[in-house]
Amino acid sequence: MKILVPISKVPDTTAKIAFTDGNTKFATDNVTFILNPTDEWYALVRALEIVEKEGGTVTVIHQGAAESEQFIRKALAIGATDAVRIDAEATDAYQVAHNIFEYAKDKSFDLVITGKETIDYNGTQIGGMIAEMMDIPYVTLASKLDIENGKAIVARDIEGGKEIVEIPLPCVIAAQKGMAEQRIPNMKGIMGARTKSLTVVASAGEALTTISSFELAPQKTACKMLSPDDMDELVRLLHEEAKVI
């Protein structure tokens, strides 16, 4: 089993969000970056579990400048076999997906597993885009993935529940909670990561969109406090003032 796992780095959820250059750029000063949680905890760990059972390799691929190699090394420390870095800043999802496709297209991966979304741009796009470029099946919001008789058995979210589907390999899966449990890299993994192969490739992808500006979400006005003994008043306000019931 040859598995490719695209990984992204994102600002930590608790990071303060601010913009510079006339609100056109995300201010990265003093922001702590982390490996995107759904990529690290769910996509990568499930990929490792599958090759531990079936044999094979897990390649992680990341688009970003040289500074982001620390995140790639972390993925290698957790257990990935080798890594690829696409040497360019990410501009939009299409560009990143295109670069990953260009790398992957002649390497006969059986599976591509991504996280369901990055916690910065919240797109849920990369997996579906790679799947269409490769013209192979795709399942997103996947909370379970097993390989049986050369097919992928996947649980995915639907409104109000789950659906279990079977799709042939090769395919692309976007993983979310339920898929696996976070693994903390151990000392042996961290030492081993230093000598694992990290290939750098050039970017050929083009962007189809650009962010023209950012705005912070409007601040909430002060919360109106109500007496716990007067729920009639709450209902009245929800009806007459907020007009939501």
Partner 1 sequence: MSVIVYIESNENRVKKTSIEAAFYAAETAKLLGTEAIAIALGSHDAAELEKLGNVGISKVLHDSNVKFDQFDTRAITKAIVAASTSVNADVVVISYNQNGKAIAPRVSVRMKAGMVAGATALPYTSAGFTVRKNVFSGKAMANVQILTEKKVIALTPNTLQKVVGVNTSTIEAFSTGVSDADFTTVIKSVEKVTGTVSLTEAELVVSGGRGMKGPENWGAIEELANEMGAATACSRPVADVHWRPHHEHVGQTGFTIRPNLYIAAGISGAIQHLAGVNGSKVIVVINTDLEAPFFKAADYGVNGDALVVLPKLVEAYKKFKSASH
**Residues between 56 and 115 that touch partner 1 (CB under 8 A):** 92-94, 97
User: Which of residues 106 and 229 has its CB atom nearest to partner 1 in the complex?
Assistant: 229
The count of C-alpha atoms lying within 13 angstroms of the C-alpha of 220, restricted to the half-sphere facing its C-beta, is 3
Euclidean distance between CA atoms 208 and 214, whole angstroms: 18
Question: 9-13 long-range CB contacts below 8 Å, 24 or more apart?
Answer: 9/33, 9/34, 9/35, 9/36, 9/62, 9/64, 9/68, 9/71, 10/34, 10/35, 10/36, 10/118, 10/119, 10/120, 11/119, 11/120, 13/119
| Amino acid letter for position 23 | N
Residues in contact with partner 1, shown as a per-residue x/- string from 123 to 152 under the rule CB under 8 A: xxxxxxx-xxx-xxxxxxx-x---------
Residues in contact with partner 1, shown as a per-residue x/- string from 30 to 49 under the rule CB under 8 A: -------xx-----------
The helix (H) or strand (E) run that includes residue 126 is: helix 126-134
User: Which of residues 49 and 117 has its CB atom nearest to partner 1 in the complex?
Assistant: 117
CB of 208 to partner 1, least distance (A): 3
Range 163-202, binding partner 1 (CB under 8 A): 163-168, 176-178
- Pick the stretch among 59-67, 77-85, 102-110, 225-233 that binds partner 1 (CB under 8 A): 225-233
User: Which of residues 107 and 236 has its CB atom nearest to partner 1 in the complex?
Assistant: 236
Binding to partner 1 by residue 54, rule CB under 8 A? no
CB of 99 to partner 1, least distance (A): 13
Euclidean distance between CA atoms 44 and 145, whole angstroms: 12
* Phi, psi (rounded to 5 degrees) for 130: -60, -45
CB of 129 to partner 1, least distance (A): 5
